[in-house]
């Protein structure tokens, strides 16, 4: 290549826009990852400030927010389960929110705050009470939730148990959460991305049996109904039955109580 030609090509390349930066800066371009996780991060910061700081004088640490999909849970918390390459002592807890259950902005907010109370127990037991092993929702957890304005309930409705392994909640009218959420909504916060993911165990669609359905609302309704059912097994004869969580079932043949198992 001649010196003059090389100079001409170099000048042209210098004037050409970087294709990567052009795409990322293009206005109107969908950025699902950034939008979805950014909105969750904003929600976390909002409720951290308006509930945990203002009610308890405690600011919860930053966490790793994830969105795994499953039939088995609406969300979960794991204490210091992420490690950083910056050093062995740089760790973060995880709060997972299942996008298949993103039915409304309020429901996502409730689940997020529920898991934040678990984080509070792990990081500040002097304020929120010592956590119980294996994710059990104990009396101290229930008291913290009530102080925030969310009533723990095994059924998600009035009259349910306030402690247990599997626990939902409902909003206490005019409580701190209700007021904070109304401010959250009025200020224009959004959760714009959700998933219509369902798991098909019989059709064999793909190696994982996972597919996406256009009937998102119906799929999520089925997810909620399934979540209210728990499998019980007789340890003696292997008989299986399904009922609500924490039900007391007995095998008549073997005269023993059936135990709850993961389905």
pLDDT in tens, the chain (263 residues): 444 544 544 454 444 444 333 334 455 678 999 999 999 999 999 999 999 999 999 999 999 999 998 877 899 999 999 999 887 778 999 999 999 889 899 999 999 999 999 999 999 999 999 999 888 999 999 999 999 999 999 998 999 999 999 899 999 999 999 999 999 999 999 999 988 654 433 232 322 222 233 344 444 455 555 555 778 888 778 888 888 776 778 888 877 788 877 54
236-249 per-position pLDDT tens digit = 788 888 887 767 78
> 85: which DSSP letter?
T
Contact 153, 170 (CB under 8 A): yes
> How far is Cα of residue 183 from the mean position of the Cα atoms in its chain?
21
Return all residues near 38 (Cβ < 8 A) that are at least 6 apart. Answer: none
34-58 per-position pLDDT tens digit = 999 999 999 999 999 999 999 999 9
The pTM score is: 0.66
Rounded CA-CA distance 139/132 in Å is: 10
**Block residue for tokens 């996780």:** 37
Rounded CA-CA distance 217/226 in Å is: 14
Rounded CA-CA distance 251/149 in Å is: 40
């Amino acid at each position: 290549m001649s010196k003059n030609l090389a100079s001409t090509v170099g000048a042209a390349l210098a004037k050409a826009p970087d294709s990567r930066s052009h795409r990322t800066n293009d206005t109107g371009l969908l950025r699902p990852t950034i939008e979805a996780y950014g909105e969750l991060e904003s929600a976390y910061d909002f409720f951290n400030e308006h509930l945990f700081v203002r009610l308890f004088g405690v600011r919860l640490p930053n966490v790793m927010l994830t969105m795994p999909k499953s039939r088995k849970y609406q969300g979960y918390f794991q204490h210091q389960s992420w490690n950083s390459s910056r050093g062995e002592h740089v760790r973060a807890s995880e709060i997972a929110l299942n996008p298949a259950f993103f039915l409304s902005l309020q429901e996502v907010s409730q689940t997020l705050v529920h898991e934040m109370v678990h984080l509070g127990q792990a990081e500040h037991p002097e304020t929120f009470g010592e956590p119980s092993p294996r994710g059990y929702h104990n009396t101290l957890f229930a008291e913290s939730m009530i102080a925030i304005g969310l009533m723990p309930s095994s059924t998600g409705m009035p009259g349910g148990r306030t402690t247990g392994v599997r626990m939902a909640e409902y909003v206490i009218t005019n409580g701190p959460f209700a007021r904070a959420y109304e401010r959250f909504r009025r200020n224009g916060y959004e959760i714009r991305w959700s998933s219509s993911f369902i798991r098909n165990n019989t059709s064999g669609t793909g190696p994982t049996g996972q597919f996406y359905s256009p009937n998102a609302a119906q799929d999520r309704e089925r997810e909620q109904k399934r979540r209210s059912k728990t499998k019980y097994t007789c340890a003696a004869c292997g008989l299986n039955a399904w009922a609500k969580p924490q039900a007391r079932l007995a095998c008549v043949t073997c005269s023993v109580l059936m135990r709850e198992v993961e389905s």
